[in-house]
Structure formats: structure tokens, C-alpha cells
Chains A and B, each alone.
Chain A
Amino acid sequence: MSLAARLRPAGGATIGRRRGTLSTARRQFGVAPVVFLFLPPALLLFTVFVVLPIGEAGWYSLFNWNGYGAPTEFVGLHNYELLWRTPVFFTALTNNLLIIAVSILVQIPLALCLATLVSNRIAGAVTFRLIFFLPYVLADVAAGLIWRFVYDGDYGLVAAAASLVGVQAPYLLAERGLAIYAILVVVVWKYFGFHMMLFVAGLQTIDPSYYEAAEIDGATRFQKFRSITLPLLAPTLRLSVFFSVIGSLQLFDLVMPMTGGGPSNSSQTMVTFLYSFGITRMRIGFGSAIGVVLFAICVLFAFGYKRTLMRHD
């Protein structure tokens, strides 16, 4: 069911479509008490645990502070300078970009392709959809552990499969150059089902009469896909790209059980970098600086993307 349909209460589709605030006379009645009773809990919670911490991260990032007592050792932008001189920061940044690239260039096309297949009225389509969606509902940590086993050089599936064809498989997660690629596979495995479901929902909103009309005109499968499916699915695609990017930037849970950012920091992401360089070492100032940079990247992307590509959605 499309979201628009879900948001419409049953039977309310044609009558009662007058939207907006209540009429003036009624608005006067008890507005202030309601606003002052109903809004503060959410507002307080959100301000104290979401908005203020971001501001505080900016403030703490200017200090050299181990978290005890008050931050007193003001160091200005030194933490950012330090960040700039830490090679691991750039490894993390590159890895995040790589994850974004794979999400957009591999995962989304794969999800779209599978969505068109399971949207057909073929036997078992619903079962396939569920199976493909299953990894998405599993916790990242559990998925990471499962794949740590799959990749294990002694007991794992990859090693066993390789030895069947007579090849000695490397310890994928223990090789500097390979670990991040092994993680990328798991990212696609874990998340493509979510994007596929978005596309399945998007495909259902396309009026089948477009396809019928195209068939009368003798359009091929590919032409139908290119001229009907793709343009009508564009808003869903833009949304899917948005989720991929924001999701890729916060990847942490999946990496921790597989490599913890190793070997020798080669598979760090921004958040694992923040964790292992800021949190475990209680360097509040430095860790906050990483957080601020990540925040800036997320917000710049979100605003830029919404302003340009999602302007009309």
C-alpha cells in the first residue's frame, strides 16, 4: 500500500478533506493549555538529547578534555588540525565514500532489478520478497558475527568453498587490502532488501494502464522499463539514494563484530574511528571534533540533496 493510501483514514477519502487548523472560533478554546501541556515533553526530550548535544559537541571540540571535571584546557581548533593530520581519518572518509558508491552503484540497481522481478505476479513472489527483506530486520551486530564466521579462514564458508575448488582462500577480514571489500559485500547483503521493498511499494503505485497502452504500441520490455517504470519511480529512487548515503555515513554496528576497524585501521569508518579514537581513549575533545565533522557532512548533504534533487518530491 502506498504511503498516501496508508495515511488516509478509511472512508475519509472523499468527504472531510478539509485540512488545516480548526476554525477560528474553535481555535480560541483551550489552545494555550494544550500547547503548554502537550508540546513540552517531546520538545524537552528532543532538545536535551538531540539538539543540545550537537551544540555541545561543537563546544567540547575546542578543548583538550578527558571528561572529568569541567573542560578548561581550551585549545581552539587544535583538535580539527589534529584530525587533519591523522591519516586514519582519511582512511575512514575514503571507506565511507566507497560504501556510499557501492550502495548507489551496486545495491540500488540490484534492488531495483529484483523489485521488478518480485513485483510480477509469479508464484512465490511474496516469499522471495520476505527472504530478501529478512537480513534488514536482523541486528547489524548479529549479521556481522554471522559474516565473520562466513569469512573465517579456518571454519568459514568462503574458505570451505575455496578449498573445494582447490584454492587456499585468504583470511578475508585479516588482510589490509581486502577487509573493507569483504565488509562491502555484507553491506549489500544486509540492506538491498530494504531498498527493494521501497521499490516494490513504488512500483505498485504505477497505473498498469500505462503498460497496457505501451504494449498496444508494441513497446519492448526494456522500452517499458525505461520510459514508464524509471521516470515514475524517480521519486522513490531519489529517496533510496538519500537513505543509502545517510545510512552509509553512520555504519558502525556491522563493522565492529567483523573487523573493529582493523586490520591496522584499514576498515575504519567515520563512526568506528570516532569510537576507537575518541570514546575508548576518552578524548572527548578530539572525539567531538570527529562528530562535528560527521555532522557537517550529513547536514550539508541532506540540505544540498533536498534543495536540488528532491525539490519537487
Chain B
Amino acid sequence: MTDAALPDAAVGGTSWHGQATRRPAGSGRKRARRANLLTYTVLIVVAAIILVPLVATALGGFKTLGGLRANPFGLPTEWIWSNYWDILASARYWRMLGNSLIIATLTVSLVLATASMAAFTFAHLRFFGSGFLLNYFLIGLMFPAATAILPIFIRIRDLGLLDSYFGVVLPQAAFGLGLSVPLMRNYFKSMPHELFDAAFVDGCGYAQYFWHVTLPLARPILATVGTVSFVSSWNNYLLPLILLNTETRYPWPLGIMVYQGEFGTDWQLILAFVTLTILPTIIVFFAAQKHIVAGLTSGAVKG
């Protein structure tokens, strides 16, 4: 790597201070190069630890069971495409992904709709109990859904929603509110006040203002909250595990566990199945990485 890529040179070398403080060329450069080499060694080793299990999983799906046993790391000696094709041609694979998509879409819609309205009232109106109610939503951040899972099960059963998409969506969305409401409320509150003054002069009421001004301007925060809700719903395992019992309604995290149970030690099939189920996540992640990383981390930071 070139010296220009170094942090010291990049920061100091281009500024006036850099000119004055540059170290004697010989030793500094050598030290810098050694540091750089060390940096890359560490980064590559860690990247390998991340990627080797994932790549071996994808490649394992192309092997025969015997091939996997003889050589779990390397390229397959003969590429068994049928492991993958059979899954792609099966209804269960697409049904699982479809179920996950439906549940996640419903969850995101419900969270965005309810949280944005509540956040709007907290951001713009002060009324009896408003401070208390905002803190009330914050308690949702403190404990996982698992703590109340049995009463949730009883409630959903008593509502007759067991084994339905909505039975999963409702508690999932409810647990999403603890983060979404405060996050959106802060965003709405930071929007320029003049907007409302102008809208009000033009005879705009709160509801119209919310619909025509707040929501269109709040797209970044809607995207953040939507991303967090979508990813957590897409990956959720515990709630659907307890609330669904018909396999045709299973979202994919449950589906792969069932598949794994069915095929036991036919690892080549399980690996192909796992690869295909995480593929949508990986594709979307690399396609929209900026938004996803920002959404997931900033969503968390405010929590």
C-alpha cells in the first residue's frame, strides 16, 4: 500500500501542520509501512474468520455428503447443482419467504402508522400526562419480549389469533414501538417550527399538517424505523415459534429449523437450504448497505 493511504499522511500531510511536523523520512516511513502491514494482516484474518463459515456453507451445498466429509473447506470436486435446484423448485422455500415477507410488511406498516401518529402528538402537543406517556413507551426498551411470552401466547389464543399472521404481527409491532415512538418524536420535534406557522396561516389543521408536511419530510426517520422493524421481523424466531403451528404459515427462520429436523445429517441439503434462505438478506444488505447500516446503528444509538 502507498504512503498516501496512511492516516498520518492523509491528515497531516495535506495540511499546514503536516508540513511542519512530518517526521524524518526514513524511520517514520518504515514504521508506518510496518503498521500498515500489521493493520491489513489483522483485518484480513478477521474477515477470513467471518467469511470462511459462510463460504464453506455455500460451497457445501454443492457437494455430496461424502464430498463434504472428505473436504469441507475446498471447492467441490463435482458440482451437485441439484441440491440447490430442488429447493428452488420446491413450493416450501418460496412459501417460507413469502410468509416472512407478509409478516414483515404488515409489521412495518403497523409500526410506522401507529408510531408516527403517537410521535406526532408527543412532538407537538403538550397535554395532561404527555410526559408520562412518552416515558411509558420507553419501558418497552428495557426488557425482551421473551419475559412476557407466555401471557402473550394466552392473549393471542384468547383473541383467536393463534396460528395467524396477525397473531405474530401484533406483539411484534407492539415491541417495536418502544424504540420507534421516541425516535420519531425526536425527529419531528427537530423539524423547523416555521413550517407549522406557515401551514397554520394557510388554514392547515394538525391532521393535514401531519399528512402533508410532517410525513413527507420525515422520510429519513421513517426509513430508519422501517429498516429496524423489517430486519427484526424478518429474523424473528421466538414469537412465530410460539404463536404459529401450521407449517404452511411458518416464516423462514422456523422453516429452516423444520428442514434441519427433517433432513438430520444430510448436511449438504441443509447447507444449500441455509444458503438460499440467507441469500435475500445478503443481496439486500449489499444493495442497500448504507441505509441498512445507518438504520440499524442509529436506531440502536437512540435506544
Contact = CB atoms under 8 A, between A and B. Distances in A.
Interface of A: 1, 3, 6-9, 12, 15-22, 26-27, 29-31, 33-35, 37-39, 41-43, 45-46, 48-54, 56-57, 60, 67, 113-114, 117-118, 120-124, 128-142, 145-147, 149-150, 152, 154-157, 160-161, 189, 193-194, 197-198, 201, 208, 211-212, 215-216, 239, 243, 246, 249-250, 252-253, 256-257, 270-271, 274-275, 278-279, 284, 287-288, 291-292, 294-295, 298-299, 302-303
Contact of A54 (B110, B143, B153): B143
28 contacts: A3-B302, A6-B220, A9-B192, A16-B195, A29-B205, A38-B117, A39-B117, A39-B133, A50-B171, A54-B143, A57-B147, A57-B148, A57-B151, A114-B43, A121-B6, A122-B7, A130-B293, A146-B54, A149-B270, A157-B52, A198-B300, A208-B11, A216-B20, A246-B142, A249-B144, A253-B238, A275-B238, A291-B148
Interface in B231-272: 231, 234-235, 237-238, 242, 252-253, 256-257, 260, 265, 267, 270-271
Contact of B56 (A7, A34, A157, A197): A157
Contact of B39 (A120, A131, A140, A257): A120
B88 interface: no
A30 B206 contact: yes
B286 interface: yes
B285 A134 contact: yes
A140 to B, nearest CB: 7
Interface stretch (B78-86, B89-97, B276-284): B276-284
A122 B37 CA distance: 11
Given A34-B125, A141-B237, A211-B11, A274 B149 contact: yes
Contacts of B47: 128, 131-132
A31 B200 CA distance: 13
Interface string B182-210: 00001101111111100010000111001
Interface of B: 1, 5-8, 10-12, 15, 17, 20-21, 36, 39-40, 42-43, 46-47, 49-54, 56-57, 60, 65, 68-69, 71-73, 110, 113-115, 117-118, 120-121, 124-127, 133, 136-137, 139-144, 146-155, 170-171, 173-175, 177-178, 181, 186-187, 189-196, 200, 205-207, 210, 217, 220-221, 224, 231, 234-235, 237-238, 242, 252-253, 256-257, 260, 265, 267, 270-271, 274, 277-278, 281-282, 285-286, 289, 292-294, 296-298, 300-303
Given A19-B193, A197-B296, A302-B143, 16 more contacts: A9-B191, A19-B189, A22-B196, A34-B125, A39-B117, A121-B7, A122-B7, A140-B237, A142-B274, A145-B257, A147-B53, A160-B71, A193-B50, A257-B257, A284-B150, A302-B142
Contacts of B194: 15-16
A212 B289 contact: no
Given A3-B302, A137-B292, A294-B147, A49 B152 contact: yes
Nearest to B237: A253
Contacts of A146: 53-54, 57, 274
Contacts of B303: 243
A52 B170 CA distance: 14
B154 A291 contact: no
B73 A291 contact: no
A32 B280 CA distance: 45
A133 B46 CA distance: 12
Nearest to B191: A9
B237 A12 contact: no
A21 B130 CA distance: 12
A123 B57 CA distance: 28
Given A41-B117, A215-B12, A252-B146, A49 B205 contact: no
